[in-house]
Amino acid sequence: MTTEEKNINITLKVWRQKSPDVKGRLETIEARDISTDMSFLEMLDTINEGLIIQSKEPIEFDNDCREGICGMCGAVVDGIPHGPESAMTLCQLHMRKFKNEDIIFVEPWRARAFPIIKDLIVDRSALDKIIQSGGFVSIAAGGAPDANSIPISQDIAEKAMDAAACIGCGACVAACPNASAMLFVSAKISQLALLPQGKPEAAQRAWNMVNTMDDCGFGNCTNEKECEAVCPKKISIVNIARMNREFFKSGFASQVL
Amino acid sequence: MNWLINTFGTSIGKKLLMALSGACFIGFLLGHLGGNTTLYFGKEAFNSYAEHLHALGILVNIAEISLLTLLVIHVVTGVTLFFQNLGARPQRYAVSKRAGGRTWASATMPYTGVLILIFVIFHLINFHFVEKTLDNTIFDIVSKTFVQPEFMIFYIIAMIIVAFHVSHGFWSLFQTLGANHPKYMPIITRVGIILSLVFGIGFGLLPIFVPLIAS
């Protein structure tokens, strides 16, 4: 294959918004000779280089590790958060998934709880607020405990680990038709509630995190399963059922309120 | 009692209200379908079923008031959730695609819900709030309605909508109640689909069958 064949020309329809308060719009940007070996973010880098040379504002987007583990990147590509590939973050999406002359829509996460800062960057501090409201365990300081002093079955450890795989990227919120954060919150509640170390505060944690989630202005879950479909870490909605159980225990069977 | 109001006031609390009231409606539909199957055995069977049902007296009134209360809960909570969810994303996406979770039934729950509410009101005016006499029994009222093609089609479409609503509602209520387990969820989903087919076919064939035996 020659280099010419590996390169494609694409048209981006990308969301441009100067600041949180001004009105944004979709801008059309033609990109020529994009190598199909590039990742989606490298493609944006290339376009930005061109924009900077032309003394234009580059497209602002969040990114960090670029290997799918930090949860920093993310945009809605052609209507799907993190793009068309399943179980992947945006940085792992490659231009070989696109064809020559494709028109690609790139939009930021859209939710009332995620105000746009600039272009594709949104403020996800609402997720931090939820974590702060209850995502911790009390640990007695002191000498390091012996290994395996608290028995945990393999099955439970795996479930907790699966929930803890959440990187907090916010794609679940972006994909949810109701902009609900329940998959995120359920993963954070589950990873602690499943383990003995997380049990003492389980009721208070479920209560605080669910209420903070509501206060942040996220929508309500209607079991559409779109979150699970776009989650780069394949977090299952089984966690949402577990969160509901934890919440019912907290609301109906505990003394936390 | 503040804890109760606070619990039901949260997003998950409202989901619970939807799930519990929805579960009761599925129970009601099963009972209603059970009763209506007497229509398949002809005029006498249906009229005698209606007579036996009304012989329960006060129990019927209790059931009616309970259903009305559940209806108010389901509709008010549903409408609240609908508008809250609309408000949670003030700016819509220019391009929006399904990633694979959403189905036609799940995407249209609020709309099928409204259509079912309209149908229920119409249905009650049609069959419930009419005077029944010895010359004009409930069977006569039903058969007179269904011989009119527009009513027949209206009722059949309404039953297809009910089937859609139940096909998402059934597994969804288990998920909301926290009963999602990899061992049982596939069975629950299948039962939901079978149940929606039973409702759709069981009720949906009546408007076609009744005019046949009435003439």
Q: Where are the alpha helices (DSSP H) in A13-108?
A: 40-53
Domains of chain A with bracketed CATH: 3-107 (3.10.20.30), 124-135+153-253 (1.10.1060.10)
Q: Nearest C-alpha of chain B: how many angstroms from A179?
A: 6
Reported as a single tens digit per residue, the pLDDT across A4-62 is: 568 999 999 999 999 999 999 999 999 999 999 999 999 999 999 999 999 999 999 99
ipTM of this predicted structure: 0.94
Tokens of A83: 């793009």
Q: Which of B10, B102, B175 sits opposite A214 (nearest CB)?
A: B10
The kind and range of the H/E element at A107 are strand A103-107
Contact B24, B70 (CB under 8 A): yes
Q: Which of A211, A223, A251 sits opposite B106 (nearest CB)?
A: A223
Whole-number Å distance between alpha carbons of A14 and B154: 46
Question: Hey, are the CB atoms on B85 and A220 less than 8 Å from each other?
Answer: yes
Q: Give, in degrees to the nearest 5, the angle at Cα A228 between A109 and A86.
A: 80
Q: Nearest C-alpha of chain A: how many angstroms from B213?
A: 43
pLDDT in tens, chain B (215 residues): 799 999 999 999 999 999 999 999 999 999 999 999 999 999 999 999 999 999 999 999 999 999 999 999 999 999 999 999 999 999 999 999 999 999 999 999 999 999 999 999 999 999 999 988 888 999 999 999 999 999 999 999 999 999 999 999 999 999 999 999 999 999 999 999 999 999 999 999 999 999 998 86
Instruction: Classify residue A166 by burial, with Cβ atoms within 10 Å: 0-12, 13-18, 19+.
Output: buried
Tokens of A126: 């609402």
Q: Nearest C-alpha of chain A: how many angstroms from B174?
A: 9
Q: Nearest C-alpha of chain A: how many angstroms from B163?
A: 17
Q: Which of A113, A221, A252 sits opposite B15 (nearest CB)?
A: A221
Nearest-by-CA chain A residue for B80: A220
**Mean pLDDT, rounded, of chain A:** 95
Question: Hey, are the CB atoms on A241 and B10 less than 8 Å from each other?
Answer: no
In this prediction the pTM is 0.95
Nearest-by-CA chain A residue for B103: A224
Provide the residue range defining the domain that includes B32. 2-214
Nearest-by-CA chain A residue for B78: A222
The pLDDT, as a whole number, for residue A117 is 98
Reported as a single tens digit per residue, the pLDDT across A61-74 is: 999 999 999 999 99
Question: Hey, are the CB atoms on B13 and A251 less than 8 Å from each other?
Answer: yes
Contact A73, A62 (CB under 8 A): yes
Non-local (6+) Cβ contacts of B196 within 8 A are B162, B163, B164, B166, B167, B170
The number of distinct structural domains making up chain B is 1
Query: In degrees to the nearest 10, what's the CA dihedral of A32, A89, B168, B180?
Result: 170
Question: Hey, are the CB atoms on B101 and A112 less than 8 Å from each other?
Answer: no
The pLDDT, as a whole number, for residue A5 is 66
Residues of chain A contacting B10 with CB distance shorter than 8 Å: 210-211, 214, 247, 251
CATH number at residue B150: 1.20.1300.10
